[in-house]
Amino acid sequence: MHDTTDGPRPAVELQGVVKRFGDRSGTEVTAVDDLDLRIADGEFFSLLGPSGCGKTTTLRMIAGLELPTAGSIRIHGEEMGLRPPNRRPVNTVFQNYALFPHMTVAKNIGFGLEMRKVPTGDRAELIDWAIQLVEMGALAHRKPGQLSGGQQQRVALARALVNRPEVLLLDEPLGALDLKLRQQMQHELKTLQREVGITFVYVTHDQEEAVTMSDRIGVMHDGRLLQVDTPEAIYERPTTRFVADFIGQSNFLEATVASADEVVLANGQRLRLSSDSPSGEAVAVTVRPERLTVHRRGEAPAGLHHLEGRVETVTYLGNAIVYGIGIDWMHLDVRCPATLAVERRDVGDEVTVSFEPRHAAVVTG
Amino acid sequence: MSVVAPPDEAQAVDGPSEVATPGLERQAERAKARQGFLLGLPAILYLLVFFVIPLGVVVAYSFATRTRSGRTELRDWNLNAYARLGDDIVLTVAWRSLWVAALTTVICILLAYPLAYFISTRSAVTRNLLLVGIMIPFWSNFLIRTYAWRVLLDSDGLVTQMVQATGLGDGRILFTTNAVILGLVYGYLPFMVLPLYAAIERIDWSLVEGARDLYANGWGAFRRVVWPLSKPGVVAGSILVFVPSFGAYVTPAILGGNKEGLLGSYIVLQFLSARNGPVGSAVSVVVLVVMLLGTLLYFRAGGKNL
Ligand SMILES: Nc1ncnc2c1ncn2[C@@H]1O[C@H](COP(=O)(O)OP(=O)(O)O)[C@@H](O)[C@H]1O
Ligand SMILES: [Mg+2]
């Protein structure tokens, strides 16, 4: 795994963090398993993974709402140890917002300032700033129960940001919103993060959301961090089958590593692709459907990797056509732009599928 | 129905193919209301005979005339009994009752709140066990339990002896107002615990986490989040304790002394010893109105969703 943060003092640093939950019957759940992570100052970092993979637990440990079973959590170099949440320089936007139902919007936003005993004058000014920031001016005197989901989300955001935390933790803050509002809020959140320059740690199970908003993404699975990279690198160069599959769609060709720069496909065909795995290891070659091209049999340009097959299905999607291609031992999806310039194939056509070596990745798992 | 019914009305009586009209809607609503009334009739009759009519009698008595022989006669309606409410003795007794009820309520809150908080933060199994425990006293008669206190507080009773053993005093509180308050707190504590439990248990724990995340320490989170959100429970419990304490009769009669009477015993005194029905009724009516106001307050404070 490669880590692009080489700054002197990462905003958040997790080292060997483990969290186990025990229950009454004595069975233990390892929610977070040996997590190492450095998040740079001012970064928009997303923790991405399916439900139950340990994202919330990780976030709660940074916030101090949960203590790690083992490992160390540092914020701007300072060890958090057993510090309670109120003495950590972070704030959280909770998944269900956790707005105080008995307080007005303004009181909710001012709560953190009040608890830190910020003088009343400064407090009013900061509350104003935060209310303007999320455009909630007209509703400052409403109670949370009188707000829509999107409005509540803004209040939760303002309530956290008004404290100018060193790190803002967000737990699926857009999960409760409908698609259209969610996309709008994604954009606004990203803009806001650039404006205020605060480090965001953003938890989501929505890969599109993570890819759209993040500077870097950490993909989690079963309590483990599988890969930490830029959205592009995660998409183009996944290191595990899980990551390739979770981020968008992909084709997987079973293969065995022959040497450091060659793999053998299940049909014996050799491909020059480099991998980190030792010879003899079972791997998969993954290529995104849109990185594959279909040619009439034998007409594929040289210099590319070729696979021979037959068109089995043709699905017209408006802006694209997806061909289902049967090769000897498996099935591939190929996605082509549906322009007039591209020649159409029909079911039963004998074809050659090609791809550039740099568009294929060798993944394990 | 007229012979020349308009077509849609004729259709309406055909049953399944009825077309909805405002008239039909009203008819259906009336039928439903009638059905509800019939279902409630036994209870309504019961309340009428054993509650509304006696209450009417009390109200009527309070405006009635007392003869020299102490008989109450329903004639010459007057406010004489209400005029007597300003008497020093009535005011003293009323203030003492108010004070006893208020003190009982405050002590109950102080004892019940931590307990309710404790219960509502346990696991489901423990929680149910503890709640059953709270209700165990209800399995035996209130009168018997109050008499048990009399035995315990007797000059050679267990509690008295224990207090003496600790050297904190002579422990003789039987037949004082303190003994009455002790008995009332004992009797009504569950009525404070249960609504408090219901209110605290309902609080979304993530709100406390939210407060902690926003720099509140444990006390701050309690003061600004848990306490305000549990207030409906505090109000409900307070009314459930204050109202019966204010008009209490059994506990003061068994544990209290003769010197420091409360409203309950004062009313009984008026009816039985003083043979003054009108005054006894007038005091009852006032107590009733106070309790009614208290109950209204309870509903206003959201006690409905208890
Ligand atoms: N308080 C808890 N007690 C026991 N198990 C828990 C607790 N919190 C989380 N878990 C378990 O830890 C795992 C990770 O949960 P979580 O961090 O909430 O996942 P995510 O946020 O990625 O959906 C899950 O298997 C969950 O059941
Ligand atoms: Mg979660």
pLDDT digits (tens, 9 = 90+) for A75-128: 999 999 999 999 999 999 999 999 999 999 999 999 999 999 999 999 999 999
> Residue B302 has what pLDDT?
59
Q: How far does CA B193 lie from the centroid of its chain? A: 14
Nearest chain B CA: its distance from A99 CA (Å) = 7
Alpha-carbon distance values, B25 to A39, A181, B20, B30, B34 (Å): 65, 41, 7, 9, 14
> Residue B278 has what pLDDT?
94
User: A90-93 and A224-229: which strand pairing?
Assistant: unpaired
When scoring A59, A95, A102 by the number of chain B Cβ atoms within 10 A, the one with the most, hence best to mutate, is: A102
Residues of A in contact with B207 (CB under 8 A): 98, 100-101
Task: Say yes or no: CB of residue A324 within 6 Å of ligand 1.
Answer: no
In whole angstroms, give the CA distance from residue A50 to residue A60: 17
Nearest to B215 among A98, A100, A115 (CB): A115
Residues of A in contact with B228 (CB under 8 A): 102
Residues of B in contact with A86 (CB under 8 A): 212-217, 220
Rounded to a whole number of angstroms, the CA Rg of chain B reads 27
Residues of A in contact with B229 (CB under 8 A): 101-102
In whole angstroms, give the CA distance from residue B245 to residue A285: 80
> Residue B260 has what pLDDT?
78
Contact: A98, B204; criterion CB under 8 Å: yes
Mean pLDDT, all residues of chain B: 88
Cβ contact A168:A91 at 8 Å: yes
Domain B85-300: give its CATH architecture: Orthogonal Bundle (1.10)
Mean pLDDT, all residues of chain A: 92
Nearest chain B CA: its distance from A115 CA (Å) = 6
Instruction: Tell me the percentage of chain A whose pLDDT exceeds 90.
Output: 81
Nearest to B212 among A84, A116, A160 (CB): A84
Task: Say yes or no: CB of residue A89 within 6 Å of ligand 1.
Answer: no
Band of residue B17 on the pLDDT scale cut at 50, 70, 90: low
> Residue A21 has what pLDDT?
95
What is the number of alpha carbons within 13 Å of residue B61 lying toward its C-beta? 22
Alpha-carbon distance values, A346 to A186, A290, A314, A352, B159 (Å): 40, 18, 7, 13, 97
> pTM for the complete prediction?
0.83
Q: Which two tokens stand for residue A135?
A: 């455009």
Question: Has residue B16 got a pLDDT over 80?
Answer: no
Contact: B214, A86; criterion CB under 8 Å: yes
> Residue B9 has what pLDDT?
46
B209 CB within 8 Å of a chain A CB: yes
How far does the centroid of ligand 1 lie from the alpha carbon of residue B90, in Å? 64
> Residue B70 has what pLDDT?
85
Nearest to A86 among B123, B216, B229 (CB): B216
Q: Indicate the Cα dihedral angle A13, A14, A15, A21, nearest 10°.
A: 170
In whole angstroms, give the CA distance from residue B112 to residue B200: 12
Q: Which residue of B has its CA nearest to A24?
A: B123
Question: Has residue B270 got a pLDDT over 50?
Answer: yes
When scoring B215, B230, B235 by the number of chain A Cβ atoms within 10 A, the one with the most, hence best to mutate, is: B215
Question: For chain B, what are the domain ranges?
Answer: 85-300
How far does the centroid of ligand 1 lie from the alpha carbon of residue A345, in Å? 48
> Residue B301 has what pLDDT?
66
Band of residue A281 on the pLDDT scale cut at 50, 70, 90: very high
How far does the centroid of ligand 2 lie from the alpha carbon of residue A92, in Å? 13
Task: Say yes or no: CB of residue A51 within 6 Å of ligand 1.
Answer: yes
B256 φ, ψ (degrees, to nearest 5): -90, 165
Q: How far does CA A194 lie from the centroid of its chain? A: 18
Three-state DSSP at A287 gives: strand
Question: Has residue A7 got a pLDDT over 90?
Answer: no
Mean pLDDT of all residues in B188-202: 95
Cβ contact B156:B213 at 8 Å: no
Band of residue B170 on the pLDDT scale cut at 50, 70, 90: confident
Cβ contact A62:A73 at 8 Å: yes
> Residue B306 has what pLDDT?
41
How far does the centroid of ligand 1 lie from the alpha carbon of residue B298, in Å? 40
Contact: B215, A116; criterion CB under 8 Å: yes
> Residue B258 has what pLDDT?
73
Band of residue B304 on the pLDDT scale cut at 50, 70, 90: very low
Question: Has residue B298 got a pLDDT over 80?
Answer: no
Q: Which residue of B has its CA nearest to A116?
A: B215
Instruction: Tell me the percentage of chain B whose pLDDT exceeds 90.
Output: 65
What distance separates the 2 farthest-apart alpha carbons in chain A? 78
> Residue A73 has what pLDDT?
97
Residues of A in contact with B210 (CB under 8 A): 92, 94, 98-100
pLDDT digits (tens, 9 = 90+) for A287-338: 999 999 999 998 889 889 999 999 999 999 988 999 999 998 889 999 998 8
Question: Has residue B15 got a pLDDT over 60?
Answer: no
Q: Which of B105, B190, B194, B96 minimizes the C-alpha distance to B142?
A: B190
Which ligand does the CA of A47 lie closest to? Answer: 1
> Residue A340 has what pLDDT?
72
Question: Has residue A168 got a pLDDT over 90?
Answer: yes
> Residue A8 has what pLDDT?
61
In whole angstroms, give the CA distance from residue B118 to residue B271: 46
Three-state DSSP at A257 gives: strand
How far does the centroid of ligand 2 lie from the alpha carbon of residue A218, in Å? 15
A22 CB within 8 Å of a chain B CB: no
Ramachandran assignment for A172, one of left (phi > 0), alpha (psi -120 to 50 degrees), beta (any other): left
Q: Which residue of A has its CA nearest to B221?
A: A115
What distance separates the 2 farthest-apart alpha carbons in chain B? 98
> Residue B206 has what pLDDT?
95
Question: Has residue A239 got a pLDDT over 80?
Answer: yes
Band of residue A1 on the pLDDT scale cut at 50, 70, 90: very low
Write the single-letter amino acid at B257.
Answer: G
Structural domains of chain A in order of their starting residue, each with its CATH number: 12-236 (3.40.50.300), 249-363 (2.40.50.140)
* Range of lowest pLDDT (A82-91, A173-182, B227-236, B246-255): A173-182
Contact: B207, A102; criterion CB under 8 Å: no
Band of residue B10 on the pLDDT scale cut at 50, 70, 90: very low
In whole angstroms, give the CA distance from residue B90 to residue A200: 69
Band of residue B168 on the pLDDT scale cut at 50, 70, 90: confident
* Range of lowest pLDDT (A57-71, B121-135, B247-261): B247-261
How far does the centroid of ligand 1 lie from the alpha carbon of residue B123, in Å? 18
Question: Has residue B216 got a pLDDT over 90?
Answer: yes
In whole angstroms, give the CA distance from residue A20 to residue A10: 26
Look at B168 and B239; give whichever has higher pLDDT: B239
Three-state DSSP at A203 gives: strand
Residue spans of alpha helices (H) in B154-176: 158-166
Nearest CA to ligand 1 atom 10: A31
